[in-house]
Structure 1
């Protein structure tokens, strides 16, 4: 039996990603951010060649030595 209409997939909500600097600032301010998330943000910052001020703040929040 032929179909009379084409079923289209339901539109999916895909949130717009925040800039990395904003994600890091929020993670630093929120004391309930898991260490794993902080480490992922650090890896993303290192891959991006990000800003040293953010790197120092993130390391301080993680607890890593600043000269590491």
Structure 2
């Protein structure tokens, strides 16, 4: 019997990976970013030898009060 549909995995959307500065900017702007994610971004920035301005923004966000 001929098959009318080929079985296989359904294609899925895979977003393009964001650069570290883009990830940091998104995390700093979002008040719902968990502290653990902010700390992982800080570690990645340190490992990369990153931008001091990004480091300061991230540190300020990590220490910011929740109602700010």
CA-CA distance at 1:12 after TM superposition: 6.3
Aligned positions, number? 61
TM-score, normalised via structure 1 length: 0.72
TM-score, normalised by the number of residues in structure 2: 0.72
Written as runs of structure 1 = structure 2, the 5 A alignment for 1:13-52 is 14-52=14-52
Query: Aligned partners of 2:27, 2:20: CA distance in 1, in Å?
Result: 10
**More relative contact order, 1 or 2 (CA 8 Å, 6+ apart):** 2
Q: Secondary structure at the match of 1:15?
A: coil
CA distance in 2, matches of 1:52, 1:46: 10
Residue 3 of structure 1 corresponds to none
* Root-mean-square deviation (Å): 1.9
**What SS is found at the alignment partner of 1:17?**
coil
Any gaps of 5 or more consecutive residues in structure 1? 1-6
